[in-house]
Chain A
């Protein structure tokens, strides 16, 4: 593994972001709109009463963490799509770049854009709505780690599907965060879901994060069973990451046999 080649994939994406303000806006504008919108919704809900429940803390905290994970997933996908749109695979894979280095470059790009977005969201939530994200404390580390790993896994998985089916399958990528949010219990406890959907939630790592976060913000304590839940969430996220990497590699190998790396476009597949 060459770190220089991983950096090459990363720096290409940074050049793209730097060169066009539209790309920068694409990363941050929707995040800012989301935080402002949910901030006002939380403030309105708080004004209805229920002093014992902090809507701002629960809803804005959930939104920031969820958007962080979504941005990680989209960061990988967008970086991958830039190479699809510019038909750059032939240049990349005819060079010494390995598929592992390429995926690592995509991950590095998504971490850079994901964390930048996260810091902006935290700043806006703090300045505009007085929300202190650090209220979650050190548990922020396992929460964000699980979401980071799962976001990467989803980004690689969706990119692999497009790698297999071609750019015309791009639309498949966009609804995934919304569908996952239903099962992840971002805005409501998992117990709200019907029994059959709760089973699905058990297999979604973010559901453990959001359940834990709600418990902590509601009770101010961290029960022991939450630690085991977080361990399950982390393990699941790592398994998904491993499986998505295997999936991406197998699609790459299949494309090598079919010859679609040299002529990767919608018409060729």
Chain B
């Protein structure tokens, strides 16, 4: 029996006047799967994530989450998705606990106090519970962002460079937490990153995006060899510099 994808994107397009930021892309994310969305700056990764989050209206195409059309029932669908992004921090003037409480209410989390307590323990935030988010270090803020991202136990988690600007130790900790979450909940994850080692370590499939279109897709561990490159980083640089060459070959 085939599993129904948690996320199915079909011919998704976003135009800003004459510019096509995303040009008819299609892909899916299955339960328990981590899909990496790669590409140079301006390739359309964040635009794609914003459309899936429902904070950017697509020009054309279809986004289905657990079989439901996002445009038809955004609020209902949003209860089962969440995100963490390097550019979207928690409000700096609320404490760690207040932030988790407010977002727990927004996602209508049951047994919220217990859930907050669990997350504070899980992400080692207990000693920061009454600290304002604006006073947290990058690593602490990333842990808070991630705690908020799984507060509603989402079926689909969108992570836009969740480990950017973090030291290797905290990056690994964050990766391990996300992988453990996927293993226990069978959630689907769409993950963007510029760290190719990280992508190779965690993703089951990668999509290379350039100028709004998907140029390549496949297993991150075998894809470089299939295109005559020694590793994912070399492949990334080739895609970033010579997207048309790869498109033809």
Contact = CB atoms under 8 A, between A and B. Distances in A.
A188 B80 CA distance: 57
A215 interface: no
A225 interface: no
B20 interface: no
B92 A86 contact: yes
Interface string A245-269: 0000000010011110111000000
Contacts of A89: 55
A262 B50 contact: yes
Main secondary structure of the interface of B (DSSP, over half): mixed
B83 interface: yes
Contacts of A15: 94-95, 98, 102
A5 B88 CA distance: 20
Contacts of A261: 55-56
B90 to A, nearest CB: 7
A11 B105 contact: yes
Contact of B79 (A7, A82, A96): A96
B70 to A, nearest CB: 12
A267 to B, nearest CB: 13
A40 interface: no
A116 interface: no
A259 B83 contact: no
A96 B56 contact: no
B47 A259 contact: yes
Main secondary structure of the interface of A (DSSP, over half): helix
Contacts of B76: 96
A92 interface: yes
Interface string A69-99: 0000000000000100011111111111110
Contact of A7 (B55, B88, B103, B105): B105
A23 to B, nearest CB: 9
Contacts of A19: 93-95, 132
B61 interface: no
Interface in A221-260: 253, 256-259
A98 B50 contact: no
Interface in B121-153: 132, 148
A256 B98 contact: no
Nearest to B112: A4
Interface string B57-82: 10000000000000000011011001
Given A5-B106, A95-B103, A95-B106, A16 B56 contact: no
Nearest to A15: B98
Contacts of A256: 55-57
Given A86-B93, A98-B75, A262-B50, A93 B55 contact: yes
B34 interface: no
B91 A96 contact: no
A20 interface: yes
B180 to A, nearest CB: 23
Interface in A95-139: 95-98
Contacts of B50: 259, 262
A8 interface: yes
11 contacts: A5-B105, A7-B105, A8-B106, A12-B102, A86-B92, A95-B82, A95-B106, A96-B79, A96-B107, A259-B47, A261-B56
Interface of B: 16, 46-47, 50, 53-57, 75-76, 78-79, 82-83, 85, 87-95, 98, 101-103, 105-108, 132, 148
Given A94-B83, A96-B78, A259-B56, 18 more contacts: A2-B108, A5-B105, A11-B101, A19-B93, A19-B95, A82-B93, A86-B91, A87-B88, A91-B88, A91-B91, A91-B103, A96-B79, A96-B106, A96-B107, A97-B106, A253-B57, A257-B57, A259-B47
Interface of A: 2, 4-5, 7-8, 11-12, 15-16, 19-20, 82, 86-98, 253, 256-259, 261-263
